[in-house]
């Protein structure tokens, strides 16, 4: 996946600020994710040329509650601007949701803006409260 550096980073720019990430930073991060696969499950969708056009991450949190159950967290969903509206976002969410189920998570959750609630509802999710944050 190291060769995906540019398109991976570009795709994420539709979501938020990525900032300066060198190819070395990218490679180290991929190694970290890879050596902690029980927690980090990054996913991408590539076009016919192998360029990343959609990203998503499932994080698996092992808890004490629910008999040491696991919760899936969906993060960093982004579809390139020129590929939006082609069901790639929906496909990404379906895949990550299925993976959370396969990994025996008792639920899967995510935070999103009001403007994206409709998208997640179409993916079968329902509003379960509010998001709180404290930024550093």
Q: Are 18 and 8 in contact (CB under 8 A)?
A: no
Between 36 and 116, CB nearer to ligand ACO: 116
Whichever of 5 and 93 has its CB closer to ligand ACO, that residue is 93
C-alpha closest to that of 56 among 21, 22, 14:
14
Q: Which is nearer to ligand ACO, 1 or 15 (CB)?
A: 15
Q: How far lies 55's CA from each of 46, 61, 63, 89, in Å?
A: 9, 20, 26, 9
Among 90, 95, 103, 125, binds ligand ACO (CB under 6 A): 90
Residue numbers of the site for ligand ACO (CB under 6 A)?
A: 14-15, 74-79, 84-90, 110-112, 115-116, 118-119, 122
């Amino acid at each position: 996946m190291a060769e995906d550096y540019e398109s991976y980073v570009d795709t994420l720019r539709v979501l938020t600020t990525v900032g300066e990430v060198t190819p070395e930073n990218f490679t180290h991060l991929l190694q970290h994710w890879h050596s902690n696969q029980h927690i980090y499950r990054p996913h991408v969708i590539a076009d016919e040329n192998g360029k990343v056009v959609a990203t998503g991450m499932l994080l698996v949190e092992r808890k004490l509650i629910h008999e040491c159950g696991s919760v899936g967290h969906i993060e960093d969903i982004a579809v390139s601007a020129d590929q939006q509206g082609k069901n790639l976002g929906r496909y990404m969410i379906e895949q990550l949701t299925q993976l959370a189920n396969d990994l025996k998570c008792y639920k899967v959750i995510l935070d999103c803006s009001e403007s994206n609630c409709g998208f997640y509802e179409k993916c079968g999710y329902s509003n379960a409260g509010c998001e709180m944050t404290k930024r550093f």
